[in-house]
C-alpha cells in the first residue's frame, strides 16, 4: 500500500513540475512577443538590456 501511495505522489509531483515548466515557457514566449516591438527609452531601457530580446532583434 505504501508503494502505491509513493507512486501516486511521484506522478502528481511530476505533473505539477510539467505544468510549471510549460507555464514558464508560455509566459516567457508571451513576454518576448509583447516586448519585442516596444518603444525604447534609450540606453537605460531595462527591456533592451534583456539578452534574449537582443538576440531576437538581431535575427530580424
* Chain mean pLDDT for the chain: 81
| Contact between 32 and 52 (Cβ < 8 Å) | yes
> What span, in angstroms and rounded, lies between the C-alpha atoms of 38 and 23?
23
Domain boundaries, the chain: 2-59
Q: For the segment 21-39, what is each residue's pLDDT rounded down to a tens digit?
A: 999 999 988 887 887 777 7
- More reliable by pLDDT, 10 or 45: 10
What's the rounded mean pLDDT across residues 31-52?
74
Task: Give, in order, the Cα–Cα distances in Å from 54 to each of 14, 21, 45.
Answer: 34, 23, 12
Residue 45 pLDDT: 76
Amino acid at each position: 500500500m505504501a508503494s502505491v501511495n509513493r507512486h501516486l505522489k511521484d506522478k502528481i509531483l511530476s505533473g505539477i513540475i510539467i505544468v510549471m515548466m510549460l507555464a514558464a515557457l508560455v509566459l516567457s514566449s508571451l513576454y518576448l512577443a509583447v516586448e519585442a516591438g516596444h518603444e525604447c527609452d534609450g540606453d537605460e531601457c531595462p527591456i533592451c538590456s534583456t539578452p534574449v530580446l537582443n538576440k531576437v532583434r538581431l535575427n530580424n
